[in-house]
A and B are shown apart, each in its own frame.
Chain A
Amino acid sequence: MESIGQTGTDRHDRGYLAERGWRSWAFTLDHKRIGAMYLWTTIAFFLIGGLFALLLRLELLSPQTRYFSNHAYNVFFTLHGSMMIFLFIIPAIPSGLGNFFIPLHIGARDVAFPRLNLASYWIFAAGFLVIIGSLVAPMDTGWTFYTPYSAKSAAAVTTLSLGLFLVGLSSILTGLNFLVTIHKMRAPGMTWHRMPLFLWSMYATSIIQVIATPVVGVTFLLLAAERLLGVGFYDPSKGGDPVLFQHFFWFYSHPVVYVMILPAMGIISEVIPVFSRKPIFGYNAIAYSSLAIAFLGFLVWGHHMFTSGMSPLANTIFSFLTFFVAVPTAVKVFNWIATLYKGSITLESPMLYALTFIFLFAVGGLTGPFLGALATNVQLHDTYFVVAHFHYTMMGGTVMGFFAGLHYWFPKMTGKMLNEKVARLAWALIFVGFNVTFFTMFIVGTRGMPRRYAEYLPKFHTENVISTIGSVVLAAGILLMCWNFLQGLRKGAPAPANPWRALSLEWKAASPPETENFHEIPVVTAWPYGYGTTKA
Chain B
Amino acid sequence: MDNVFAFGAASGQAGRVDALFLVIAVIGFFFFFLTQGILIYFAVKYRRRRPDRDNETPSITGNPLLEFLWILIPTLVVVFIFYYGWRVYTDLRVPEAGATEVHVNARQWMYEIKYADGRTAINEIRVPASKPVKFILSASDVLHGFYLPDFRVKMDMIPGRITTLWLQPDRPGQYQIFCTVYCGTGHSNMLAQLIVMPPHEYAEWVEHGGRDEAGERGEPLHERGERVVKRAGCLSCHAVEGKEKIGPNFRGLFGSKVPLEGGQSVTADEEFLRESIVDPGAKVVKGYPNVMPTFKTTLTPEEVEAVVEYLKTRK
Chain A residues with a Cβ under 8 A of chain B:
64-65, 69-71, 74, 140-142, 146, 148-149, 152-153, 236-237, 241-243, 276-285, 307-309, 312, 315-316, 319-320, 323-324, 326-327, 330-331, 333-335, 337-338, 340-347, 355, 358-359, 362-363, 366-367, 369-370, 372-379, 381-383, 443, 446-448, 450-457, 459, 529-535
Contacts and interface: CB of A to CB of B under 8 A. Distances in A.
A367 B81 CA distance: 12
A376 B9 CA distance: 13
Interface string B159-185: 111010000000000001011111111
B158 to A, nearest CB: 6
A75 to B, nearest CB: 10
B47 A454 contact: no
Contacts of B25: 370
A373 B20 contact: yes
Residue of A378, A529, A530, A532 contacting most chain B CB atoms (<10 Å): A378
Contacts of B90: 312
A379 B39 contact: no
B288 interface: no
Given A148-B141, A344-B53, 8 more contacts: A70-B186, A70-B187, A276-B46, A282-B66, A347-B47, A366-B32, A370-B24, A376-B24
B55 A340 contact: no
A338 B66 CA distance: 10
27 contacts: A69-B244, A70-B246, A140-B185, A146-B182, A148-B141, A277-B55, A320-B82, A324-B75, A326-B74, A327-B71, A337-B39, A342-B57, A344-B46, A345-B43, A362-B35, A370-B25, A373-B82, A373-B84, A375-B85, A375-B89, A376-B21, A378-B89, A447-B149, A450-B147, A459-B2, A532-B56, A534-B55
Contact of A319 (B5, B62, B85, B152): B85
A276 B61 CA distance: 13
5 A-B pairs closest in CB distance: A236-B160, A373-B85, A448-B149, A374-B89, A532-B57
A382 to B, nearest CB: 4
A375 B16 contact: yes
Contacts, number: 293
Contacts of B35: 333-334, 337, 358, 362
Interface of B: 2, 4-7, 16-17, 20-21, 24-25, 27-28, 31-32, 35-36, 38-39, 42-43, 46-51, 53-63, 66-67, 70-71, 74-75, 78-79, 81-82, 84-86, 88-93, 141-143, 145, 147, 149-150, 152-156, 158-161, 163, 176, 178-189, 243-246
Contacts of B53: 344
B89 A315 contact: yes
Nearest to B187: A452
Contacts of B20: 373, 375-376
B94 to A, nearest CB: 9
B4 to A, nearest CB: 7
B8 to A, nearest CB: 11
Nearest to A448: B149
Given A337-B39, A341-B42, A344-B48, A534 B142 contact: no
Nearest to B56: A533
A400 to B, nearest CB: 14
Nearest to A243: B158
Contacts of A452: 182, 187-188
B74 A330 contact: yes
A455 B239 CA distance: 13
A440 to B, nearest CB: 11
Interface hub of A140, A312, A320, A323 (most chain B Cβ within 10 A): A323
A375 B93 CA distance: 10
Given A242-B158, A309-B155, A379-B152, A285 B181 contact: no
B60 A342 contact: yes
Contacts of B46: 276, 340-345
A363 B31 CA distance: 10
A216 to B, nearest CB: 19
Nearest to B66: A338
A142 B57 CA distance: 51
Contacts of A312: 89-90, 93
Nearest to B7: A447
Contacts of A372: 78, 81-82, 85
Contact of A345 (B48, B67, B147, B182): B48
Contact of B62 (A142, A285, A379, A454): A285
A323 B185 contact: no
A533 B55 contact: yes
Contacts of B4: 443
A191 to B, nearest CB: 16
Contacts of A367: 28
A309 B158 contact: yes
B243 A65 contact: yes
Contacts of B178: 448, 450
A358 B180 CA distance: 32
A11 to B, nearest CB: 26
